[in-house]
Amino acid sequence: MIASRTEFRRDPVWPRLVAVTAAMLFLLLAQDGHIKADPLTSQDGSATEGTAETSLTGSMAYMADGKKFLSDGLYLEAADLFETVLLDEEAKEYWPEAALLAGKAYLAAARAISSAELRREAIKFFENFEKSYSSSPLLEEDYYLWGLSLFEAEDYFEAEPKFNALLKRFPEGAFASESEYYLGRIMERAQKYLEAQKRYYKVIEYFRQPIDKVEDSTFRIARISELLDKHDLAIKWYELACQRNLYRCLMDADVLFYRGSAYASLGEHKQAVEQLFRFINIFPEDPRNDNAMLILAESLITLKDFKGAGAVLTSVMNSKNPNTRAEAMLRLAELQQESGVKLSDDDFITLYERIVEQAPHTDQAMVASLRLSRHYLNERAFANSLKYIDWFFLAFDQSKYMNEMLDLRDDAILGLLRTYLNEDEYFDGAMAFEERKNEIRKRSHLSQARFLAGRLYYGIMNYSRSAEELMATDEKFIDPDDRRLARLLLALDMQTDGKPENTMSELKSLSMGKIDEVSFAAMVRLIDLLLKQGKTEDALQYYSRLPEEYSIPRYLSCLDFRVGLRLSESGDFTRAKEAYDRYIQYNLEHREAIREALMGSHDDVANDSGSSLKLLDCASYLATSAFVEKAKCMLSLNETDDAALILKQIMDECDSSPLRSQSCHLLADLRSKQGKSDEALKILKECEKADSDDLYQEAQALLQTEIEVKRQLEDISNWWAE
């Protein structure tokens, strides 16, 4: 008898008291003549040959009472009686049954109160039974109970060989079906699903008993089929199982969850919704509830019930599991993005951003950062795109999105550089290139970035770095027009390096053929260079080829103004006047943009704040000078009335312009030559007033000689062009 068993008895001595009381009652009845005295006991109480028979009779009583106690649920009392039999040396024929029943009683007690220690007591009895009674016909049941005890103790590694031993020795035995069933359970837990299915099939098709094991095996085959992604088989087995037990189909959590999942996988979404709704409502605390809601949401989306799907996903966003929350936010964001319907308080971009913030190292955050990067790239918000691209590479070393994110980063960097270039933010663009150039993956993208960097560095007048980047550009990776632009910038870089001949040669080459923006810019720069070198006739030849439509570069380079000076200097006053007219017209067309750029640095900008721009731009020295020079040409062409109108307009409107004094003297001289002495004197008084103003003392220097005026104007126009 096992020593530790006594601590589990409800009353460890009462069975023996029952036995003693029964013996005394037996003797009293014998004395009264009701029962014949035992002839096997001597008068002095010593044992005789009848002692063995008496002992055997007592053990029989213990066995009978123990079985009754066992059936009545008095498991520990039953175990005590069976152990008492095991102490009787004369009752060896009962020992195998008593040992098995004692273990069975302890197993029943362990189940009743969920006691691991009582289960260990049962296992000891089953283990000792095999050692002591290996030839007993009860060995099959011992193997079964032994394996069952280990299975219920979750010791599957030890339980498996016990069931296998039973099937090997008793393949057709009474416990073979149950052994196959529990071996299937063990295989299922080990995720050996195919082996588990084989066991369950055998229970169903071969043994067909007991009914509860056959029924459960059917449900388990259905669930395993779903786990193996054999959704059609899972549905068929569930239908068969539900015919046998409809209540379980309606109320079992496993059945509802896996059956709903199978329907969803097969695209039978109405049935999936029915099963999963029931699962969620009946088992709200089930740990699979979040997964069920995610599957349910997908089915509702397929059924076009976006509102219902949004409500389900919004609910899952309150999950305690951060990964589940992130998955719900991701699906809701995708649903809102694809459907264009706002189904939560947040829009899809905010949801993606929340995923990155709240679940930064999850697969969902990986997808969210990709979506954010792509979205901002499409919106041309390149800085925001790079923000999430950078975050992605900091958070994940390797992922299936790595190549796509590398391409997105290249595109975002190029987009950012183009944005800086288009917005004339050359310094910021150049710094962005230096910061990002080592991150660019593809050679083609790097060449494009170097080309953009060359333009940016040219914008900040760092011509050496501009030339360096442009020369490092692989021409096969940039557009033909961009190649020509790169050649143009390199030519201008050579000019700054003191190589005008090389510059002129390249500019002449670029000026040939059809006129476009690059060839036009090359021609303007070539004319500019020829004018600076005093090659006026050559400059005028190229000037005559310039089309009118490219007005902005002509205006910004003061080309027409400077050509007008050269033409008037050579006496070609008609063409000079036409050149000045072009410059004046370009000034009017582009003045608004220029004045906006100069806002805050000119006191006279307010003069242009009217509803329309005035032809005369008094705040611009070059623009006013163009009118003065045009008037001079008109005087030389004897167009005196029109010249007088221009000079008078400058005197009346340009109070703060230093050119007012010059216009005044020209007009006075004209009136004097016309014989209008009184008017000439009146104008001269106005001239004296303008000349005496300290603010315009600079005008006196400009009036010294005509040659000095021409030189000053050319210097100013050169400075403006550069």
Distance CA 716, CA 537 (A): 22
Nearest CA to 710 out of 445, 531, 462, 497 is that of: 531
Give the best-scoring range by mean pLDDT among 36-45, 81-90, 374-383, 680-689.
374-383
Per-residue pLDDT of 130-160, as tens digits, reads 899 988 999 999 999 999 999 999 999 999 9
Q: Which residue has the higher pLDDT, 56 or 280?
A: 280
Structure tokens that stand for 492 in this block: 């201008």
Q: Which residue has the higher pLDDT, 274 or 581?
A: 274
CB atoms within 10 A of CB 244: 14
Mean of pLDDT values over 532-557: 75
Distance CA 440, CA 417 (A): 12
Per-residue pLDDT of 559-617, as tens digits, reads 788 888 888 888 888 888 888 888 888 887 777 766 665 554 444 444 444 445 677 87
Q: pLDDT class for 551, splitting at 50, 70, 90?
A: low
Residue 479 amino acid letter: D
Is 587 in contact with 623 (CB distance < 8 Å)? yes
Residues 6+ apart with CB under 8 A from 178: 144, 148, 210, 213
Q: Which of 8-12, 551-555, 670-674, 717-721 has the lowest mean pLDDT?
A: 8-12
Does a cis peptide bond (omega within 30 degrees of 0) precede residue 210? Answer: yes
How is the chain split into domains, by residue range? 554-594+615-722
Is 88 in contact with 61 (CB distance < 8 Å)? no
Percent of the chain with pLDDT over 90: 44
Nearest CA to 469 out of 451, 486, 485 is that of: 451
Q: pLDDT class for 698, splitting at 50, 70, 90?
A: very low
Does position 389 have pLDDT exceeding 90, yes or no?
A: yes
Q: Which residue has the higher pLDDT, 195 or 512?
A: 195
CB atoms within 10 A of CB 135: 6
Per-residue pLDDT of 275-304, as tens digits, reads 999 999 999 999 999 999 999 999 999 999
Mean of pLDDT values over 467-478: 84
Q: pLDDT class for 8, splitting at 50, 70, 90?
A: very low
Question: For residue 529, what pLDDT is reported?
Answer: 79
Question: For residue 29, what pLDDT is reported?
Answer: 40
Distance CA 241, CA 433 (A): 67
Distance CA 174, CA 207 (A): 10
What ranges in 114-155 are assigned the alpha helix state H?
116-132, 139-152
* Structure-token match 């409107």, residue found: 653
End-to-end CA distance of the chain: 112
Q: pLDDT class for 344, splitting at 50, 70, 90?
A: confident
372 burial level (CB within 10 Å; 0-12, 13-18, 19+): buried
Question: For residue 581, what pLDDT is reported?
Answer: 87
Per-residue pLDDT of 605-650, as tens digits, reads 444 444 456 778 777 788 888 888 888 899 888 888 888 888 888 8
Distance CA 59, CA 85 (A): 5
Distance CA 488, CA 561 (A): 23
CATH of domain 554-594+615-722: 1.25.40.10
Give the best-scoring range by mean pLDDT among 79-83, 386-390, 648-652.
386-390
Mean of pLDDT values over 327-347: 89
Residue 131 amino acid letter: K
- Mean pLDDT of all residues in the chain? 82
Is 344 in contact with 336 (CB distance < 8 Å)? yes
Mean of pLDDT values over 266-281: 94
Question: For residue 54, what pLDDT is reported?
Answer: 57
Nearest CA to 489 out of 517, 512, 513 is that of: 517
Q: What is the CA radius of gyration of the chain?
A: 53
Question: For residue 55, what pLDDT is reported?
Answer: 57
Mean of pLDDT values over 361-378: 93
Question: For residue 440, what pLDDT is reported?
Answer: 94
Mean of pLDDT values over 460-476: 84
pTM value is: 0.61
Mean of pLDDT values over 118-139: 92
Q: Between vectors from CA 441 to CA 440 and to CA 446, what angle results, nearest 5°?
A: 55
Q: Which of 8-17, 473-482, 650-659 has the lowest mean pLDDT?
A: 8-17
Q: Which of 167-176, 210-219, 422-431, 585-594 has the lowest mean pLDDT?
A: 585-594
Distance CA 64, CA 56 (A): 12
* Structure-token match 């020593």, residue found: 3
Mean of pLDDT values over 160-176: 93
Nearest CA to 198 out of 171, 215, 175, 221 is that of: 221
Percent of the chain with pLDDT over 70: 82
Question: For residue 613, what pLDDT is reported?
Answer: 61
